[in-house]
Amino acid sequence: MTDPLSPAASVEADGPGTDMSRHNTRVREPRSYVAALALSYFGSYLALMTPVMFALAFKLQHITGTTESATQALGLVAGSGAIVGMIAQPVVGRLSDRTRSSLGRRRPWLLGGTLVGAAALGCVGVADTVPLVLVAWCVAQGGFGAALIAAQATIPDRVPTRRLGLVSGIIGITTPLAILVGSVLVTVLSGDLARFLVPGLAAIVLAIPLLALLEDPPLQGTPPPYGVREFVSSVAFDPRAHPNFSWVMASRFLVMFGYAGIGTFFPFFLGERFHLGETDVAQAILVVNVVAVVCLSLSAPIGGIVSDRIGKRRPFVAVAGLIMAAGLLALALAPSLAVVVVAQGIIGLGLGAFMSVDQALAVQVLPNPDDNAKDLGLLALAGTLPQSVGPAIAPVVIGLGSATSLGGYAAWYILGALASLAGALAIYRVRAVR
């Protein structure tokens, strides 16, 4: 018998002309669940984004001694870690759907991933060579990637369609809040170890409410086998079979590509463009993030709530992508820190609306009812892949741009603006949701 709260009972398969409304019989998810889920997301993103946005750049600069060498090392470390996280999420998603445990299907991966990720961050903090940082950061990405996908998989398990936009908007706020708190931590904490270990420990503490409160019944019956074929299918996807989901993934990849390059190289951008030292860069990033978080915190819930009420998703995703493109273009040409602050505020407005409504739209077009965590892992891959592609190609783009009148970082952010624009247009290829 099918559990009415299981993925199989909540999502129809993606296909041309299919009504993608969900059949979740729950009237409303428990309020405690949403709060606990938001705390868990915040903790994981705090542990991941603090290094990505700030601490890794400073750490590698301390090891290598020069900005040029640190830029190359950052591209390698951030790109490699993103690849590990990219693979881990769909694989763990599928394993989570098959997990038989007295703790449930999602809880073991949430707990184990958080503990492994936090331990690895401590190793990054004490590492004194680039290879050691590389290995430890890859483990951290894999651990927190597993925790995030386990938490995300509970959304289609528990949230009815009419509240997806609101819940996604609440979850969307956790990323910029994590970035803001991370920028504060980098400013007030001294030493590389504290800058990595404190966010990791915070992630453990903040995961406890979801671990304790989550309704996560054990899987009944014998789970399907998981061998080489299933592993390959966890990271493989036929876009022709599920065109709606494919275009959602393409849109997310393009928009997040535009965003991915901002944080990873932002400290170097500020230092080079405005001739700032490490302390001044950290303080400037804090100011920028306060503005960005305020803007994102406004747009994320508003976009989700309005989208729920009018029953449309695509226009919100498209407009959000256009707003981000405009902000990236302003950042590329910014003549002063004041313009940088305004540009990041514009980007925050677009990103907030995009993250809330894009997540709600994606849940409505999940292709496989019995494997929703696996498909959410693929969707997460579309969001994390730019974190690998971006750092990998950024040094080349920045180098080529440096030979032009635009400058290296201006060229990089203009490329991001074009990617976000393409992502905004791509969402109209989704036919199953308005």
Read off the pLDDT of residues 289-298 as tens digits, 9 standing for 90 and up. Answer: 888 888 887 8
Sign of CA dihedral 233, 146, 74, 341: positive
30-216+227-429 belongs to CATH 3.40.50.970: no
Contact between residue 3 and residue 217 where contact means Cβ atoms under 8 Å apart: yes
- For the chain, domain boundaries: 30-216+227-429
Segment 188-217, tens digit of pLDDT? 887 889 999 999 999 999 999 999 888 776
The residue ranking higher by pLDDT, 124 or 374, is 124
Reported confidence tier of residue 175, pLDDT bands at 50, 70, 90: confident
User: What is the C-alpha separation between 84 and 168, in angstroms, rounded?
Assistant: 25
Segment 48-71, tens digit of pLDDT? 888 877 788 889 988 998 877 887
Segment 223-251, tens digit of pLDDT? 666 666 666 665 566 777 778 888 888 88
Q: What is the pLDDT of residue 345?
A: 92
**SS3 assignment, position 190:** coil
Contact between residue 89 and residue 381 where contact means Cβ atoms under 8 Å apart: yes
Least confident range of 18-27, 119-128, 316-325, 385-394: 18-27
Q: For residue 423, which of 243, 255, 241 has the smallest C-alpha distance?
A: 255
Q: What is the CA radius of gyration of the chain?
A: 20
**SS3 assignment, position 99:** coil
- φ and ψ of 201, to 5 deg: -65, -35
Segment 65-121, tens digit of pLDDT? 887 788 788 888 988 887 887 778 778 877 887 777 778 788 899 999 999 999 999
- φ and ψ of 335, to 5 deg: -90, -10
Least confident range of 86-90, 121-125, 322-326, 409-413: 86-90
In this model, does residue 140 exceed pLDDT 90? yes
Q: For residue 432, which of 156, 155, 238, 242 has the smallest C-alpha distance?
A: 242
